[in-house]
Structure 1
């Protein structure tokens, strides 16, 4: 099996390199040094703001990383998730899948500081991308140079959030969803590793622990002891709407524990657990569970690729991330 895995990676790496190269060429306007002259202190201002917020609220890192994913999956990485709804339009942040996305205030605080230091220069979309990198690295994960130069979009529609990948999707559905954003199977499994940070409320996995099917009350792919623990934490009826469970056993640390948990049947979402039940993805889970360094390397590559999705120069640099100029 080890040889098979190695041969697959050997075959994939040239393809991955070609895809990343072509992506970089098509998005040549993005540059790691984009603000070196116009706002050299930009990254420090953002990093300090994120670090301060994380000290007061340990949920901030997972929330910021999720915010980046949800922003890029709808209309690309254009900060459309930050726009407030208006009397004539319900924005993305008010779409059902985004009602549990929080900590927008962290991005707003960073933007306010940047407007004082470098007026009308740093886009809200770049702030989210930099903040996502910072929460990963500050939680024990890899650090990378964020490519910058995104513009902020002017359109945000709650109805489009229905296109976000749900925690109930199977592997084929996940592959299709990621493919629409130009992301491959490797990217899908790698970016799913972002679930190493965070917490989920009972509603996202309740169907797996009670009344799963006609034949099984509990999802048979779940570890039995784990399922019983989830049932204790999520009783029915459940009057504690804050109840839930962490996404892996080291939920405040960015590591490869997420993949180790999947291999023993402790994936919280059915979409996560499905990765080990399909041969197209299981071997990648196994490789990442054994090699954290490789997971980190591939996570950086996939985050850079995700950060290029839908990037356009047709937007603006918002003065306030909540409203268009």
Structure 2
């Protein structure tokens, strides 16, 4: 009991800066069933298709990296953020819109799309046998969404130094970087984003030497040289539907699908963090990753948030309000 209390205290201290702007239970009076409504909505979609979970997690992550966690990625339009190349394959928009329409019926103009997305990401992880955490809420929705601003989103091609800078620009360090990339334990990608590693790594028809040879054969079977580039492949080959430390073991063993993920093993600092999660005792290290992931997600969810009189509460998540 004491250990649990101490852990909770550390998390509280870590997120105190975020809670100065946001607070847990923000809607407890204004819309008491807000979090339960989001949870039941996510659960209904998850029960039909569990792969919606990594989709919602990625949607929240990509939202926070552009204009902060303000729901700007949800806005539709030809020049909107969601149409940027880096946002190719984003999914889960219909889940957020569904929850929003229910909440507008219950509490009109109260719950922001940005908060719905943050809550949905938490619920998606929890439903995938991952940790749950108290999500500080009170975000307001942004009114700006431009695809041209999405160039700072992490890419599968990024070197460690580029990944490090992109996270540092958002106030996050190497530990946050490795921990949040661990979300790939339930993630998926498409063949076109990594097939160059299999067939043409240095434009001379070779394969990426950091890929384990046995795994290379498996990937080539999944993604033939002339095949469907849109075919989806799990980023964790061992337990793709379960939120656990298997992803880190894959990185350690040369079994990462994305080049950016495998590069975490090639840098001494990120390697030590990957190793600490991968370890040998699955149970204990799984608990530690759960604990660290909760902290990192609260930190991510506080990036450049709009609160108070900033932004607005959108009536429909895909478009800004008209005044």
Determine if the TM-score, normalized by the shorter chain, exceeds 0.5.
yes
Task: Trace 1:221-260 onto structure 2 (pairs within 5 A).
Answer: 221-238=210-227, 240-248=228-236, 249-260=238-249
Give the paired residue count.
Answer: 304
Q: Does 1:124 align with 2:113?
A: yes
- Counterpart for residue 4 of structure 1: none
Does structure 2 conserve the Cα–Cα contact (< 8 Å) formed by 1:234 and 1:244? no
Does structure 2 conserve the Cα–Cα contact (< 8 Å) formed by 1:190 and 1:295? yes
Task: Trace 1:56-135 onto structure 2 (pairs within 5 A).
Answer: 56-85=48-77, 90-135=79-124
Q: Deviations over 1:149-186 (max 9, x none)?
A: 00000000011112101011121111111000000110
- Counterpart for residue 5 of structure 1: none
Q: Deviations over 1:51-85 (max 9, x none)?
A: 00111122210100000100001010000000011
Does structure 2 conserve the Cα–Cα contact (< 8 Å) formed by 1:201 and 1:243? yes
Distance 1:266 1:91, change over 3 A: same
- Counterpart for residue 35 of structure 2: 43
Counterpart secondary structure, 2:135: coil
Unaligned runs of 5+ in 2: 1-9, 280-284
Task: Trace 1:200-215 onto structure 2 (pairs within 5 A).
Answer: 200-213=189-202
- Counterpart for residue 292 of structure 2: 298
- Counterpart for residue 301 of structure 2: 307
- Counterpart for residue 8 of structure 1: none
Counterpart secondary structure, 1:245: strand
Q: Name the CA distance, whole Å, in 1 between partners of 2:77 and 2:250.
A: 38
Deviation at 1:236, TM superposition (A): 2.2
Does structure 1 conserve the Cα–Cα contact (< 8 Å) formed by 2:55 and 2:92? yes
Q: Name the CA distance, whole Å, in 1 between partners of 2:14 and 2:131.
A: 24
Counterpart pick for 1:159 among 136, 140, 148: 148
Q: Name the CA distance, whole Å, in 2 between partners of 1:116 and 1:95.
A: 32
Does structure 2 conserve the Cα–Cα contact (< 8 Å) formed by 1:84 and 1:323? yes
Deviation at 1:141, TM superposition (A): 0.6
Q: Deviations over 1:259-293 (max 9, x none)?
A: 01111100011110011111111111111112111
Deviates more, 1:148-157 or 1:225-234: 225-234
Counterpart secondary structure, 2:137: coil
Task: Trace 1:173-192 onto structure 2 (pairs within 5 A).
Answer: 173-192=162-181
Q: Name the CA distance, whole Å, in 2 between partners of 1:289 and 1:228.
A: 23
Distance 1:53 1:244, change over 3 A: closer
Q: Does 1:316 align with 2:312?
A: yes
List, as ranges, runs of 4+ consecutive aligned residues in structure 1 with deviation greater than 3 Å: 20-23
Unaligned runs of 5+ in 1: 1-16
- Aligned-residue CA RMSD (Å): 1.6
Q: Name the CA distance, whole Å, in 1 between partners of 2:181 and 2:155.
A: 12
- Counterpart for residue 4 of structure 2: none
- Counterpart for residue 282 of structure 2: none
- Counterpart for residue 9 of structure 1: none
Q: Name the CA distance, whole Å, in 1 between partners of 2:143 and 2:16.
A: 24
Does structure 1 conserve the Cα–Cα contact (< 8 Å) formed by 2:70 and 2:114? yes
Does structure 1 conserve the Cα–Cα contact (< 8 Å) formed by 2:179 and 2:292? yes
